[in-house]
Amino acid sequence: MKLFVGLGNPGAKYAHNRHNIGFMALDRIAADHGFPPWHGKFQGSMTEAPLGPDKVILLKPETFMNLSGQSVGEAMRYYKLTPAQVTVFHDEIDLAPAKLRCKTGGGHAGHNGLRSIHNHIGPDYHRVRMGVGHPGHKDAVPHYVLQDFPKADADWLEDVLRGVSDGVKDLVGGDTGRFLNAVARRVAPARSSISPAKPKPEPAQEMTSAAEEDTRTPLQKLMDRFK
């Protein structure tokens, strides 16, 4: 059994915030893979179903971001899970938009949702770090992550969410490489191998006039240079 946690804040006010990309990822997984309707449990919304090689619980804590660990810890205790069975999807300001990285263990880098989870279950869980970009100055971060994604980000955001859904069965099976490849194929699809060949450049035209056969004598050539 695996527990997949998406981080975000509850309510329509926050639904499209950068901070809620973890919620968005789980919503896409649930919709694409036929999970039952969400219902309230463990201070959050959850649903569960077989997915790939294992049964997966999807959990969106509704304690607000700073207390996410309360919900995660409660679910883990109920199902008797270890941190190694937990994967957290969260926004990552230290990655460019549309970039994803997988990580196990380590620090929380100031992310309040991860800080709370660290406090409740320790650091040894898995993470899917979903890049949203950095505002340029650390003082601007709180306002930045609580802003909605702009319309200009709609295309790459949709590609990332579709890629996460495409590769989620590989993630369940522990193959993070194939999972990340699935996302990459959506974000930067490979060029067709049957693309039309580039036209060959036209052959250079032969030089005429002075480049044509020169029948002047050496003396005539020398005299012509001083005309």
List active site positions.
Answer: 19
Name which of 179, 133, 127 is nearest 153 in CA terms: 133
Q: Which amino acid is at 32?
A: D
> Between the CA atoms of 2, 39, 34 and 8, what dihedral angle is there, to the nearest 10 degrees?
-70
Q: What's the CA gap between 2 and 49, in Å, rounded? A: 10
Q: Rounded to an integer, what distance in angstroms lies between the CA atom of residue 132 and that of residue 216? A: 74
Of the chain, the end-to-end C-alpha distance in Å amounts to 95
User: Cα–Cα distance between 20 and 148 in angstroms, integer?
Assistant: 9
